[in-house]
Amino acid sequence: MKELNYMSVAEEAMAKIRKGAFLTVKSEAGLNTMTIGWATIGFIWQKPVFMAAVRPTRHTFGIIEKAADFTVTVPSGDMLKETTFCGTKSGRDVDKFKACNLKTQNGRHTTSPIIEAAGIHFECRIVFKSAMNPDYLDAVFDRAIYPLKDYHTLYFGEILACYETQ
Amino acid sequence: MKELNYMSVAEEAMAKIRKGAFLTVKSEAGLNTMTIGWATIGFIWQKPVFMAAVRPTRHTFGIIEKAADFTVTVPSGDMLKETTFCGTKSGRDVDKFKACNLKTQNGRHTTSPIIEAAGIHFECRIVFKSAMNPDYLDAVFDRAIYPLKDYHTLYFGEILACYETQ
């Protein structure tokens, strides 16, 4: 395991996240992982922050709404089969970990585990969230991204750890 | 002028933004520039996005609330005197451009101009905004960052251009 500077890997991580990364969340409401393709990374409130977005229709939504934290695992190898599965199937209907043979590892600083896969891992404590209000969203984005009006909630996670595993 | 990939410069830009960058906004309500030290950069809604935060007490707030866009100029040289001035004085009381001898250049894609300074420039179209609801903010952050309850509005700008000038 190698500690990483979160901004030094931002370019590489974002390029890979766009192809699919795992957002993993555990709370009293359960454990699930889902695929994300969007994120922002930076520094706000004097802290390194990772922002992830979850639609309310997602099984993960009920879990993250009760969670203190989340993790993001950005695989370095080809996990297209797994990220496609975890991005299209719901944890309501199937145990994604079992179905994809995904193992988890305890977070070092988070209740939410990471996915046991070679890659970059972010452990994030939720410090702010914002349910998107469509009144303040570009109308073209609204029509293109939200035909079902299932606006994302944006979760801002303080990055507690960022590291790479082989 | 050299075109840049917004994520390729994210690490360098964030390191410099933390020391002070210019957020410049023009709308029917006026023109102003202020210093920012926080930002996030990434990819959401299928677009490259730069997020900046403005407190409602700022002169810039009244301008950006009516604006279609903003720019961020990240100086490569030492502009500590200028960023300190623009971060502590209000555009209500003083013409910052005149006081700091800051010149502007037209944005290529934005109504808001950039600051004429060597560095990295982002031209951003506002596609979403969120006035922070303290109910969803970490209590420690609330006390530390917002003793006056002047919660930021977060402005999400689609990055229309990112380039460097000498």
Q: Computed from CA positions of residues B18, B24, B25, B29, in that sequence, does the dihedral angle turn out positive or negative?
A: positive
C-alpha gyration radius of chain A: 15
Interchain proximity B127–A141, CB inside 8 Å: yes
Judge contact between A38 and A154, C-beta under 8 A: no
Contact B7/A at CB under 8 A: yes
Q: B114 - beta bridge partners?
A: B105
Tokens of A82: 């797994």
Q: What is the pLDDT of residue A30?
A: 97
- A4, A6, A7: best mutation site toward chain B, by most B Cβ within 10 Å? A7
A 12-31: CB under 8 A from B: 14-15, 17-18
pLDDT digits (tens, 9 = 90+) for A87-113: 999 999 999 999 999 999 999 999 999
pLDDT digits (tens, 9 = 90+) for B44-92: 999 999 999 999 999 999 999 999 999 999 999 999 999 999 999 999 9
Q: What is the pLDDT of residue B25?
A: 98
pTM over 0.95: yes
Kindly list the structural domains of chain A, giving each domain's residue range(s) and its CATH number in brackets, ordered by start.
2-163 (2.30.110.10)
The DSSP letter of residue B137 is B
Per-residue CA distances from A81 to A22, A25, A72, A120, B86 (Å): 12, 20, 17, 18, 50
Strands (E), chain A: 2-3, 21-27, 30-36, 39-44, 47-54, 69-75, 104-105, 114-115, 119-131, 153-165
Q: What is the pLDDT of residue B113?
A: 98
Q: Computed from CA positions of residues B12, B15, B20, B21, in that sequence, does the dihedral angle turn out positive or negative?
A: positive
Chain B: residue whose CA lies nearest to A128: B137
Judge contact between B53 and B116, C-beta under 8 A: no
Q: What is the mean pLDDT of residues A130-152?
A: 98
Q: What ipTM was reported for this prediction? A: 0.97
Strands (E), B28-95: 30-36, 39-44, 47-54, 69-75
The DSSP letter of residue A137 is B
| Helix (H/G/I), strand (E/B), else coil: B19 | coil
Helix, strand counts (H, E) of chain A: 5, 10
Across the interface, of B10, B46, B126, the residue whose CB is closest to A7 is: B10
Across the interface, of B41, B46, B132, the residue whose CB is closest to A40 is: B41
Q: What is the mean pLDDT of residues A132-138?
A: 98
Tokens of B115: 């600051």
Q: What is the pLDDT of residue A85?
A: 96
A 117-156: CB under 8 A from B: 126-130, 132-133, 136-138, 141, 144-145, 154
* CA–CA min distance A116, chain B (Å): 25
B 40-79: CB under 8 A from A: 40-46, 49, 51, 53
Contact A11/B at CB under 8 A: yes
pLDDT digits (tens, 9 = 90+) for B85-118: 999 999 999 999 999 999 999 999 999 999 999 9
